[in-house]
Amino acid sequence: EIVLTQSPGTLSLSPGERATLSCRASQSVRSTYLVWYQQKPGQAPRLLIYGASSRATGIPDRFSGSGSGTDFTLTISRLEPEDSAVYYCQQYGGHRSSSLTFGGGTKVVIK
């Protein structure tokens, strides 16, 4: 099983600041199958980034993803109050791989 480790656990920043969230995999992940979600309390996850770096429909351009292999990053360039949430990375091993795992999440708190 591919283990995804997200850091930091919590990030406390002010509006307008830049947030950098890390997702490290225990073995190489195809970029095609690396995804980022945003989840607010009481809500379902919202797809932000797919294919490691492509923004999902309707996602503001202040969200960007990068990385390859075992190291991936989600960057929020200019934090806004509504960005307060937990962010998860997720990998998929491909059809019939029986392998889809999530990182433990990074909580972003806007001061």
Q: How far is the CB of 17 from another protein (least distance, A)?
A: 25
Q: How far is the CB of 104 from another protein (least distance, A)?
A: 5
Looking at the Cβ atoms of 13 and 47, the one nearer to another protein is 47
Query: CA 100 to CA 25: how far, in whole Å?
Result: 12
Candidate ranges 10-18, 35-43, 59-67, 70-78; the one touching another protein (CB under 8 A): 35-43
Which residue from 13, 17, 20, 45 is in contact with another protein, where contact means CB under 8 A? 45
- Tell me which residue has tokens 């923004």: 55
Q: Which two three-digit tokens encode residue 83?
A: 């960005």
Query: CA 103 to CA 111: how far, in whole Å?
Result: 24
